[in-house]
């Protein structure tokens, strides 16, 4: 699953900078730019990640056994309910991504149980797991249920957690239409204006194809010939033997007509759903339609820098002023002098 892949990449990065968590490696032989990108295993964040990785490795085998013993093809309700009770005993938030990977394609009862478990944990990992299931869930029912619980968590927090934003970023970069559409819907419903630059860049994608890119060389990508071939004798070789003379003709073909060569090509993709999300989100803040910008990416970039960002700053200032006014104590009237 994508979460496991991302975690593996992070472990590889850490492994390249330290021999063990908590013990920094010698980076003196590494290039300067590599040293700047290296992860410091002594930071609290990396120490926490190391502890979570150890917890996942320790619980992985037990969770797989639990899945085999209580879920899968087993249909007996009492057995499955017993397994759900045991599953809820794993309260460490570090295990939530692993639970999504192992139980995310189980029956509706198991998926609903782990989603309720994530919600009840009131943790950052739980919020991220709910967001992940809301976009990468195995079916629409699961996605809808996860989205509902995630929205309840956002309402309780009063803000969108960073883990939800990261999950949305993974969804809109997906090559699958389902996660992409789910991510765009969350961008609109949660008003995630930080994704506007990505929406501007992602609505039109252009890819150039060079000649010979399939297997090297400078040949044509393709060609079409519309013509007529006429056979003629291009060479005549005499063959001589005793008391006999003959000729060996070589026949060739002459082609006349039209040749269409495709030497280079450019593929342009227009993502209508991304453009619609961009227009809806920006129009909401501007108080007017931005549909007239169409597919003009340079115009969108100019609009973002010169109009949209100042508008967001204006909205932020207005909210701050309203909040400050609401927190000011009400003036007390002096009692009438007697």
pLDDT value of position 150: 95
The number of helices, as runs of H, and strands, as runs of E, in the chain is 14, 6
User: Can you give the pLDDT of all 338 residues of the chain as single tens digits?
Assistant: 444 444 433 333 433 433 333 444 455 566 666 556 666 677 777 777 777 777 778 788 889 999 999 998 888 999 999 999 999 999 988 889 889 999 999 999 999 999 999 999 999 999 999 999 999 998 999 999 999 999 999 999 999 999 999 999 999 988 888 999 999 999 999 999 999 999 999 998 877 665 555 544 567 778 888 999 999 988 888 888 777 778 888 899 988 999 888 877 778 889 999 999 999 999 999 999 999 999 999 999 999 999 999 999 999 999 888 888 888 776 665 555 44
In order of 25, 208, 236, the CA distances from 262 in angstroms are 53, 13, 37
Residues 6+ apart with CB under 8 A from 84: 70, 109, 110, 113
Burial class (CB in 10 A: 0-12, 13-18, 19+), 189: exposed
Find, among 60, 64, 54, the residue nearest to 11 by Cα.
54
Find, among 268, 281, 274, the residue nearest to 198 by Cα.
274
pLDDT value of position 152: 94
pLDDT value of position 208: 65
pLDDT value of position 215: 47
The angle that helices 77-87 and 108-121 make with each other, rounded to 10 degrees, is 20
pLDDT value of position 123: 92
Which residues lie across from 231 on neighbouring strands? 253
Residue 17 phi, psi dihedral angles, 5° rounding: -115, -10
pLDDT value of position 265: 76
pLDDT value of position 5: 40
What length is written for the chain?
A: 338
pLDDT value of position 33: 62
pLDDT value of position 24: 46
Find, among 179, 103, 189, the residue nearest to 150 by Cα.
189
Which residues lie across from 239 on neighbouring strands? 246
Global confidence as pTM: 0.67
Burial class (CB in 10 A: 0-12, 13-18, 19+), 334: exposed
257 Rama sector, left if φ>0, alpha if ψ -120 to 50, beta otherwise: left
pLDDT value of position 29: 62
């Amino acid at each position: 699953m994508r979460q496991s892949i991302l975690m593996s990449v992070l472990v590889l990065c850490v492994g390249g900078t330290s021999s063990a968590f908590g013990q920094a490696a010698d980076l003196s032989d590494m290039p300067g730019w590599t040293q700047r990108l290296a992860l410091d295993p002594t930071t609290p964040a990396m120490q926490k990640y190391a502890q979570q990785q150890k917890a996942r490795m320790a619980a992985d085998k037990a969770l797989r056994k639990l899945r085999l013993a209580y879920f899968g093809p087993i249909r007996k309700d009492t057995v499955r309910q017993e397994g759900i009770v045991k599953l809820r005993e794993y309260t460490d938030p570090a295990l939530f991504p692993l639970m999504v990977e192992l139980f995310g394609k189980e029956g509706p009862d198991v998926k609903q149980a782990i989603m309720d478990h994530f919600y009840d944990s009131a943790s950052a990992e739980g919020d991220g797991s709910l967001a992940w299931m809301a976009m990468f869930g195995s079916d629409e029912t699961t996605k809808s249920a996860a989205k509902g619980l995630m929205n309840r968590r956002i309402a309780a927090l009063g803000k969108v957690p960073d883990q939800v934003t990261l999950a949305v970023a993974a969804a809109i970069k997906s090559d699958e239409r389902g996660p992409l559409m789910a991510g765009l819907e969350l961008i609109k419903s949660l008003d995630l204006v930080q994704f506007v630059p990505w929406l501007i860049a992602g609505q039109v994608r252009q890819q150039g194809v060079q000649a010979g890119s399939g297997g090297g060389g400078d040949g044509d990508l393709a060609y079409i010939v519309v013509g007529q071939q006429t056979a003629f004798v291009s060479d005549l070789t005499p063959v001589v033997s005793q008391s006999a003379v003959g000729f060996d003709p070589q026949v060739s073909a002459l082609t006349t007509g039209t040749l269409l060569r495709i030497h280079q090509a450019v593929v342009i993709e227009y993502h209508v759903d991304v453009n619609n999300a961009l227009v809806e989100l920006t129009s909401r803040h501007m108080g007017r339609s931005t549909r007239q910008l169409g597919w003009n990416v340079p115009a969108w970039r100019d609009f973002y820098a010169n109009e949209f960002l100042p508008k967001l700053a204006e909205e932020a200032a207005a909210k701050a002023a309203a909040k400050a006014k609401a927190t000011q104590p009400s003036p007390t009237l002096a009692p009438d002098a007697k």
